[in-house]
Chains A and B, each alone.
Chain A
Amino acid sequence: MRPLRSATGSVALLDRGDVDTDQIIPKQFLKRIERTGYGEFLFFDWMKDPEFELHRYPGAAILLAGPNFGCGSSREHAAWALEDYGFRVVIAPSFGDIFRTNAVNTGLAPIAVPADQIALLREPLAARNELTVDLEALEIRHPDGVRIAFHLDAHAQETLVQGLDDIARTLRLETEIDAYEAANCRRVDIKALPA
């Protein structure tokens, strides 16, 4: 996973709430067994509409979306598709819980910012469509001077900024896992189930 200390670029506005992962990447593309190449299928059905907002922002690095972005299905393909399409950051008032984790594990930064603060960005962005999202300083900056601080838990920040292999980090606690297993009996044994 490539590290993401900071992202600067133009912003795509997707002005609606409750965008579910079925829209971000429809089911017919979940049959692929690869992890890459989903960008061309991003918002596949919505993209067929020439009026769809995303057509107005080619090359955007940051997606500014409505509340509850990425709700619904757990398909990580949604995060892969956004990242493969070229987004490094999604800013929204809130995220579906599973999507949020998937995004972090994909190196796509899910940045939660209250709607009233997002509103402060509208005018500056209309004048000049550019933002910097600084994951080390935990700050969004517009070149005209608007700054918005955001919260990101330390674990997600570390994962994103360092591009960490989360499994390697957990395996550093292998002694603890061994100890837990030694102290707690196994609940089921699937191998022992009769055929």
Chain B
Amino acid sequence: MSVRTLFRKVWDAHVVSDGDPALLYVDLHLVHEVTSPQAFDGLRAKGRPVRRTELTVATMDHNVPTVDGPVTDPLARAQLDALRHNCDEFGVRLFATGSGREGIVHVIGPELGLSQPGMTIVCGDSHTSTHGALGALAFGIGTSEVEHVLATQTLPQARPKTMNVAFTGALPFGLSAKDMVLDAIGRIGIAGGQGHVIEYTGEPLRALSMEGRMTICNMSIEAGARAGMVAPDDTTFAYLEGRPAAPTGADWERALDAWRALRTDDGAEFDETVVVDVGALKPQVTWGTNPGMVAPVDGVVPDPGDYSDPEQRSAVERALRYMDLAPGTPLVDVRIDRVFIGSCTNARIEDLRTAAQVVAGRRVAAGVQAMVVPGSARVKQQAEEEGLREVFESAGFEWRRAGCSMCLGMNPDVLAPGERCASTSNRNFEGRQGAGGRTHLLSPAMAAAAAVAGHFTDVRELA
């Protein structure tokens, strides 16, 4: 057989029926409360069952409150009740709030060992690309497609193009996967990955932990890409071994043999290649209203006049108006009101450890409200066992229950109009964290540093 990319190997192994579009088999379908009720209604209306309940798992994450007590929002409660009812009726396993297994859908998939190399994984959520860190082909879908997968365990898909994002250089000390991916998105542009599946490669990528790789794959969609992937290696296998759904015994050995073949063959070609050198990378902070509007922390807010393209210029003008930032303002002079450490991008245990290290022995700046929302019940428990909760709370952070929380503000965790937030999440769109709220994306370490300083600051220079 001719040489193939990692993507192509996984794609080829899942084609049920070739054509344009091909019919692609889905190995794992993750379901949550927000994008599934209309899909279950559709099944009911046509009298269709869920085809493979053992490949389908549901959790509650998007609109669950992160403080103790009942769900007080009647609409959120009705949606959570609908999920519970639908899972009962259709025989879908649900990790409900309080089960100890709940959490952000893209955190619990890898955590339970459900997301594995070579699988196809879908979910009614654009950040499904996260699971590609394990060498899976994982992508977000709409509600009609959720219904389609529930009914048929397949999806008609036009085969995407491939893009190689090749990281080079050595990542400077104190920088993280988040800085790498924000910088990459700034270069690729938020539409640059459209119609493509990205494979991330290179030494700095290989040097990252699984959790760092998840952060990078998570934000593939912010470059417009369909999915992001990393070829599995010993880091991947060490992460997976022993997780509840991972294979065991002889099955594990067989799986390893198959997984080791999941790499892009020498000589296989990508439709596009982008080289990103991280040798001189600095911590990244977004200044605008999309993730591509990003700059190093020692940089300044750009001047719209510097953009020759009129469309870009008006987009920057509009962004600065919304963000209430003047051109030329040093980012380190931008003061913040809120800090959010959480989301499927950056709420795993390593993220919390990194932030806690910065915060330890320090205090959240006066006038800043800071919160930590662990990515899952398990991450929360582990962090508490490691004493991280105490570190955060004694620094003045609020310690919350797991959920999507203020990444998208569907629950009561929202910014007030005009509030400025340093956030470890993935989107700085207008109103994303609350109507009129202003979001700056950055890494967990940088968010922690901003919390302490009251403004953006290079975490490596924190006094």
Contacts and interface: CB of A to CB of B under 8 A. Distances in A.
Interface in A62-103: 66-68, 71-77, 79, 94, 96-98, 101-102
A22 B38 contact: no
A27 B224 contact: no
Contacts of A102: 142-145
A31 B23 contact: no
B429 A74 contact: no
A30 interface: yes
Interface string B197-237: 00000000000000000000000010010100000000000
Interface residues of A, number: 60
B156 A155 contact: yes
User: Which of A76, A94, A190, A191: most chain B CB closer than 10 A?
Assistant: A190
Nearest to B255: A187
Given A74-B124, A176-B16, A26 B431 contact: yes
B435 A74 contact: no
B142 A170 contact: no
Nearest to B226: A97
A119 interface: no
B420 interface: no
B151 A167 contact: yes
B259 to A, nearest CB: 11
A166 B23 CA distance: 12
Contacts of B408: 22, 27, 73
Interface residues of B, number: 76
B263 to A, nearest CB: 19
Interface string B1-33: 000000000000100110011010101100000
Contacts of B152: 167, 170-171, 174, 177
Interface string A159-186: 0000001110011011011001100101
A137 interface: no
A101 B142 contact: yes
Interface of B: 13, 16-17, 20-21, 23, 25, 27-28, 34-35, 37-38, 41, 46, 48, 53-57, 62-63, 73, 75-76, 78-79, 82, 93, 99, 112, 114, 116, 119, 124-126, 140-145, 147-148, 151-154, 156, 158, 160, 190-191, 194-195, 221, 224, 226, 244-245, 290, 311, 314-315, 318, 408-410, 427, 429-432, 435
10 contacts: A23-B429, A31-B78, A35-B41, A72-B221, A101-B142, A106-B144, A167-B147, A170-B154, A177-B154, A187-B27
Q: Which 5 A-B pairs have the closest CB atoms?
A: A105-B144, A102-B142, A76-B142, A33-B37, A31-B75
